[in-house]
Structure 1
Amino acid sequence: MFHHSVVQRYHIEVPFTHRLLPRARKSSLFSKMIFAKVCLALALLIGADAYSSGAPESACKDMIPRHPVEAQTRPAPYKITTSTKIVKAGTPMEVTLSGNSPSDTIRGIMLQARGSDDKPVGTFTVSPNNPLARLMKCDNKDDTITHKKHDAKEDKQTATFTWTPPATLNDVVKFRATIALNGAVFWVGVESAPVKVSA
């Protein structure tokens, strides 16, 4: 009689346990999914306001914004074009950043001209009334452009700036930018075609 009751209990409890395990696993998986979504939402919330008034000085060399998310690895939907491919030293030229489509707007920016030594060179000019951008010093005064705090309605698909090479420069430069669609979506290392500067 004792053995029979044990067997009965065994047959009752085992199916019950098997019914619980899938539920426990589903509950655990659901909890992990909720946790991941909460973390993503927090990252997006923090990222949306990350350095909204411009790039930090710590980004001067690698041009990587200190956002709580990684840079995009897919091709950037932005390009950098220049008003000329050959320019005389000391002569101003225009540099344009543009999105491939109307939805590819510019929220954040860090732009430099890099010489053959891979250091910022030359100076930019930005109007104080520009709603998107301001000047910044990395190695030298006004050698970098970054964004300023602004409303989303002032995001631009295209932004044009004036750059002037040093009067004695004889080098090939490329314009390099970090461009952010928003605080959580950005690309690092967007480059122009080479520009020859002759003294």
Structure 2
Amino acid sequence: MGITPPKSTTDQPISEEVAEEPAAKRSDTGSGTAATASGAGSTSPSDAASASADRHSLRGALVVGGAMLAACAGLILYGVLDTSKSDDTAEHRVPAAPVTYEVTGEGIADITYQALQTSGKATVAKAATLPWRTTVDVPLDQDPIVNIVLTQQGGQARCTLAIRGQHIQSATATGAFGRATCTSQFPHQEPPES
């Protein structure tokens, strides 16, 4: 009986031992088997190599296409999920100056002050422990202001306001629920010479 090479069901090429049987074996097997081994039903090594190369190039194309699709999806998600406002901030930059607010004394006070905010509302430090100090940027078109309100326990507290490091104003609050406010306008500054 002769050996007929099995048809390949895998992606690997048929090994040369099976595809190329020695001529002596083919002649011994008889005419029917020899025709099957070397006839039209079998594939030659060059056909198998060509089919394997086609499969490999198709796989490569699919891998490259999948990678490109994943990269595009990533870029789209990055654009949708990117919440940074770096482009908007540069366009809407408001001129501002540093202002130092300071409240001295002992105890607790509610402190309200102006700072650079997009909402335009004042910043509130509720029940701040004294002494308290902060330096913030204030838009040049708004007046710097700090307001203090003592608690029911009262006491004494003093607020001060400094613009660009220069002391501008101070005020004192005393007693239960005592109040004091320090405010000023920005001093006119000469434009720099060119």
TM-score by length of 1: 0.31
TM-score by length of 2: 0.32
Structure number with higher relative contact order (C-alpha < 8 Å, ≥ 6 residues apart): 1
Tell me which structure has the larger Cα radius of gyration: 2
Higher helix share: 2
